Chain A
Amino acid sequence: MSSEKQETAAVRVLGRWPSPFVIRVLVALRLKGVEYELVEEPMGNRSELLLASNPVHRKIPVLLHNGKAVSESLIIVQYVDEVWASQGPAIVPSDPYARAAERFWGQYVDDKFPSAIRVLRGKVAGDKDETAAQVAAALQHLEEAFVQCGQGKDYFGGDSIGYLDITLGSHVGWVRAVERMAGVSLLDAAKLPSLAAWADRFCAHPAVADVMPGTDRYVEFSVKNDGVPKAN
């Protein structure tokens, strides 16, 4: 593979920290050992490149692979898994039933977590106690799913990080931050022994550690940027 510097990297990610959706794409690429360039999207001001690459939603993340744009984080993760199938661990399970189960839980995670986190971090108005209770209930379901999917191993994906690990794990940064800011316990080790331990393992994983910073930075970001809660 040529080591000449190219004008435009073959693989670029349009994104910005601290989006959990962007983190998913970065983790997937790192798992596969794919070199990429992260093109930071400025806050509150969409770049021409983003508007051209994702005209439908105008949202990050977008993966640009040899100029072709792929949008929607979980769709990107599956794309990465399929394109670079011959390198790194498999991200999506090979068994169709296990795959369907992970996709189901992945959809469940995205139905519950993003909106709940927006309320708990004070970005959007809402009943924080009620929201925290809903998150706790969702995590209880996921604790059971972990036991089923992971079958006693370290991750939902078994021995290595997989699709559901990435989907849920990408939210852990914000989950921990809102625990501190809203004074609630979500990843409670007493109630969710498997998930609490898994969360630590996920965050420490080499493909994750460099792209998902510690809780302090999330809290700092929220304090600086979230301001007054907007009406939902």
Chain B
Amino acid sequence: MVEKGVKVFGMWASPMAIRVEWALRLKGVAYEYVDEDLANKSDALLRHNPVTKKVPVLVHDGEPIAESTIIVEYIDEVWKDGYPIMPSDPYERAQARFWAKYADEKCIAAIYPVFTSTGEAQAKVVHEAQQCLKTLEKALEGKKFFGGGDFGYLDVIVGWYAHWLPIIEEVCGAKVVTDEELPVLKAWYDRILAVDVVKETLPPRDKLLALNKARREQLLSA
């Protein structure tokens, strides 16, 4: 018997999982959220994503889809009469996908070393992370959101910065996204945090702070 409905396998602190929730909520789609313990993954998750075993996974009427950016596009295509997430113009779509790939491949790789370093070494990687984000910021220039006037695909993909990065900065004692270095991105944070689907889903700040503090301590003592 096919299990009907929408399930999201995620983890409460995962920015990748929250993308899926934002996309579903933009479309007004009801879903069941399964919070995974990544140190002890459920049989269901491993069955639905045997290849990479990662969250998030969307299960729609029993059929699994993995990889957050792919899931977001899937949601936009299935519930095509709802809120438009992807731009409609092919060139704009290509640009949105380009920047999403840049953010996930380059920016995350540039930010992570900030989290794992200290002192002078950290200062160097902070600068590199800022350069990476400055490149991304160009796609936002002169616009309210990456999507233009409205919260769109690229906002769904990188919107997590607005909540997670200030917390990471506090944990590491580093300042990456500042008014001086990244004014456009910083100004966009407030707009993101005001979006309904974002407000409804953000993990509690203190809980996220505690988790990241513990992770950093673990990484630095390793």
Contact = CB atoms under 8 A, between A and B. Distances in A.
A75 B69 CA distance: 13
Interface in B68-94: 70-71, 73-74, 77-78, 90-91, 93-94
A72 B101 contact: yes
A104 B77 contact: no
Interface size grouping (class) on chain B: 20 to 34
11 contacts: A56-B102, A75-B101, A76-B94, A79-B93, A99-B74, A101-B65, A103-B73, A104-B66, A104-B67, A108-B51, A141-B51
Interface size grouping (class) on chain A: 20 to 34
Contacts of B135: 56
A82 B70 contact: no
List the 8 closest A-B pairs by CB distance, nearest first: A82-B90, A96-B77, A100-B74, A79-B94, A100-B65, A103-B70, A70-B94, A75-B97
B97 A97 contact: no
Given A100-B74, A101-B65, A104-B65, 8 more contacts: A56-B102, A71-B98, A72-B98, A78-B97, A96-B74, A96-B77, A97-B65, A99-B74
Interface of A: 56, 65, 68, 70-72, 75-76, 78-79, 82-83, 96-97, 99-101, 103-104, 107-108, 141
Contacts of A76: 94
Interface of B: 51-52, 60, 63, 65-67, 70-71, 73-74, 77-78, 90-91, 93-94, 97-98, 101-102, 135
B77 A99 contact: yes
A147 to B, nearest CB: 15
Contacts of A83: 90
A58 to B, nearest CB: 12
A219 to B, nearest CB: 31
A99 B70 CA distance: 9
Contacts of B63: 97
Contacts of A65: 91
Nearest to B50: A141
Contacts of A79: 90-91, 93-94
Nearest to A54: B98
